[in-house]
Chains A and B, each alone.
Chain A
Amino acid sequence: MEVFSNLFMGLQVALTPINFIFALCGVVLGQVVGILPGLGPIVTIAVLLPFTYSLDPVAAIMAFSGIYYGSQFGGAISAILVNAPGTEAAIITALEGYPMAKAGRAGKALATAAVSSFVGGIIGTILLTVLSGPMTDMVILFAAPEYFALMIFALVCISGFSENTTLPKCCFSICVGAAIGTIGIDSATGTTRLTFGNTSLYEGIGFVIVAIGMFAFAEVLRNLTNIHSEHKTEAVRVSGDVKISFAEVKELLPTQLRSAITGFFIGVLPGVGSTTSTPLAYLTEKKFYPKGNWGNGEVRGVASGEASNNSCAMGALVPLLTMGIPGSGTTAIMLSAFMILGIQPGPLLFQNNPEMVWGLIASFFIGTCILLAINLPLVKYCAKIVEIPTNFLFMSVLLLAVVGSFSVSQRFFDVWMMLLFAVVGLLFSKFKFPLTPCLVSLLLIDSIEVNLSRSFVICDHSFQAFISRPIVALFMFLAVAVIVVPRAFKLYKKKKAQA
């Protein structure tokens, strides 16, 4: 019952005019950036962070969260109509939705995507609401050694589950982020570290500068090769009404529920996002309905992909809100937004600031309903967004990146640093180093150092005392398992195939 009273309190906060307007702006903007291939929630939140310095924290966080889950809704539109997923999470939607659109069933594909996104979003938010209480009750018992082990576990998960790269490259990316994080004055001792006497580096290199450089600016530079060819994208016309009958919704509901639940729990794991959850949900549905028209416009494919990615986005917010641990690039930027606005996510947030956190959770319910209301009747107009010239969009990101990095400390040194990190971001892409581990470790290194230091004192400088703490031992065991088990399984499969 406590959950309901908390949620009711949250609804009161979320429905205040200013919070409602910000949440609405967030979801609409999220929907727009989700539709636009090349612009994702990471880029958008990174360049918009400086706009929030003087805003009300609750309203600003609601807007950022709206951008995050709104983009999951929007990604489906360009995936279905242009075969260009606006977000990585919409790749599966493109696989089944685009053939549907080509066959003259664009309206049905879009309606299915909207309803499935809604179901996924609502299921994800319900699970977030139910699980956040027990999670915070557990995490609040953690002392420094447990926190240290938890953060190491999160970094190991991000390395272990990263796709399209190797484990050593992920670890090196983590080292780069941590190395950047050690620059500046050490908060515990007041010693300057690696500043070379440059006073501009005393405060360290801000997370926002690195995020804007490596994600936003570098993303524009990475996409430059597409500008000449992509700016006149033509979408498949939406023929017929964008609607889905009640019988069809009922038929798709088991698919949506299964995919949403899978997506949510995958999203909770750090480093595992919708790029894993959507194919998994899709493959599960393929096994449930082997006679479906898979690959040629199967409506269940669209439903599974959308329900899964929207629920996964909510799942990723669980470690962020309850433990203050980001599991992806977007949640890392959201965590920095929390910190900039003077809010420290974690178990104490639920104790000290329940209006804010429950208001945020309530805003997810409201935002998801708004997105459904936007997507069903207005989707034809939303589709026009894909036709916006790419060069104007990218120029907007470039200009916002400059002014955003300047506004961090009102000095051009930060803009030069941002430019430097854009080049570093390009180098990372060139040599296939993942960006997310770098960003997450940059954000966590300060806490890791503080908690390691405290752990030494608590455990009397004894490694044995440290590792014999049950929760620490559990996290360390899980960290080893995350690295060893998938590789051992792969090796076993390879040997079995050879035999």
Chain B
Amino acid sequence: MKSKKELKQEIFVGIGAIVASVIYFCMAFSIKQKGLMLTTSANSLTPDTVPKIIGLIGIIVGFAIMIPAIIKYKKEAANLPDVAEDEVKIPFMTKDRIVIIASMCAYLLLIEILGYIIATILLAVGLLTYLEKGNYKKNILFAVIFVVACFLIFNDVLQIWLPLGIFFE
């Protein structure tokens, strides 16, 4: 790690890992065995054993992420820049990602009403137009061909019934 920012992020990641593991570990205690269970070769462990082990390892690993970062921060923070010059920024939520995820949520809410074909064509045309403005004809053509082909393959060949929506049912 080359900057204070990266070290702080590492400490934050470690804390996040510990919190998530503690929650999971506590949840493992809520697993209740059903009825009387015979110990056979198939079930000599109780159903909460492995989740508890995973939670415990997660907590230890969380500390293993956090503690070295804290030690390094205390030792070297004074000599480190706030942000490294060659730091590669890995964004989490950009505008494009938010638009796609929000569109997907809206699409999933509407698909059972509008049906697969209409909802998916709207989604595809909308997102393609957002990603490359002006290419309307190509975008519509691509969306229609792709969606109809998908629908036919899944419905008629693979026997996976995609929703038709209120207009076609």
- Please report A residues at the B interface, Cβ cutoff 8 Å: 50-51, 53-54, 166-169, 171-172, 175, 178-179, 182, 186, 188-191, 193-194, 220-221, 224-225, 227-228, 231, 389, 391-392, 395-396, 398-400, 402-403, 406-407, 410, 412, 415-416, 419, 422-423, 426-427, 429-432, 445, 448-450, 452-454, 456-458, 461
Contacts and interface: CB of A to CB of B under 8 A. Distances in A.
Given A179-B54, A224-B131, A432-B90, 19 more contacts: A50-B160, A171-B64, A189-B33, A224-B96, A227-B132, A395-B131, A395-B142, A395-B143, A398-B104, A399-B146, A403-B162, A406-B162, A407-B160, A410-B160, A410-B161, A430-B91, A452-B45, A452-B50, A457-B40
A191 B31 contact: yes
Contacts of A402: 104, 107, 120
B17 A412 contact: no
A172 B41 CA distance: 30
Nearest to B6: A432
B100 A395 contact: no
B109 to A, nearest CB: 9
Contacts of B112: 412
B80 interface: no
Contacts of B78: none
Interface of B: 9, 13, 17, 21, 24, 27-28, 31-34, 37, 39-48, 50-51, 54-55, 57-58, 61-62, 64-65, 90-94, 96-97, 100-101, 104-105, 107-108, 111-112, 116, 120, 123-124, 127-128, 131-132, 142-143, 146-147, 150, 153-154, 157-162
User: What are the nearest 10 A-B pairs in CB distance?
Assistant: A168-B64, A188-B43, A191-B47, A175-B58, A224-B96, A186-B47, A456-B44, A407-B160, A430-B92, A453-B45
A225 B94 contact: yes
Nearest to B63: A168
Contact of A431 (B9, B44, B105, B157): B9
5 contacts: A172-B62, A172-B65, A191-B33, A395-B146, A402-B104
Contacts of A227: 96, 131-132
Contacts of B27: 194
Contact of B108 (A169, A191, A415): A415
Nearest to A427: B92
Contacts of B132: 227-228, 231, 389, 391
Contact of A171 (B57, B128, B143, B158): B57
Nearest to A185: B47
B154 A407 contact: yes
A450 B42 contact: yes
Contacts of B24: 179
B18 to A, nearest CB: 10
Contact of A172 (B9, B17, B101, B127): B17
A179 B53 CA distance: 10
Of B17, B32, B94, B142, which is in contact with the most chain A CB atoms at under 10 Å from its CB?
B17
A228 B131 CA distance: 7
A403 B108 CA distance: 11
A53 B101 contact: no
B42 A391 contact: no
Contacts of A167: 64
B158 A453 contact: no
A193 B54 CA distance: 14
A172 B21 CA distance: 9
Nearest to B160: A407
B160 to A, nearest CB: 4
B58 A172 contact: yes
Contacts of A456: 44-45
A194 to B, nearest CB: 6
Contact of A189 (B13, B47, B90, B107): B47
A162 B27 CA distance: 30
A24 to B, nearest CB: 19
A435 B64 CA distance: 19
A449 B146 CA distance: 42
B91 A225 contact: yes
Contacts of A396: 146
B97 A454 contact: no
B90 to A, nearest CB: 5
A168 B65 contact: yes
Nearest to B45: A453
A189 B158 CA distance: 34
A186 B31 CA distance: 11
Nearest to A54: B158
B94 to A, nearest CB: 7
A431 B20 CA distance: 15
A426 B61 CA distance: 21
Nearest to B147: A399
A57 to B, nearest CB: 15
Contacts of A50: 158, 160
A53 B111 CA distance: 23
A175 B154 contact: no
Nearest to B21: A175
B90 A395 contact: no
A167 B54 CA distance: 16
Contacts of A430: 90-92
Given A430-B90, A454-B41, A419 B104 contact: yes
A455 to B, nearest CB: 9
B51 A194 contact: yes
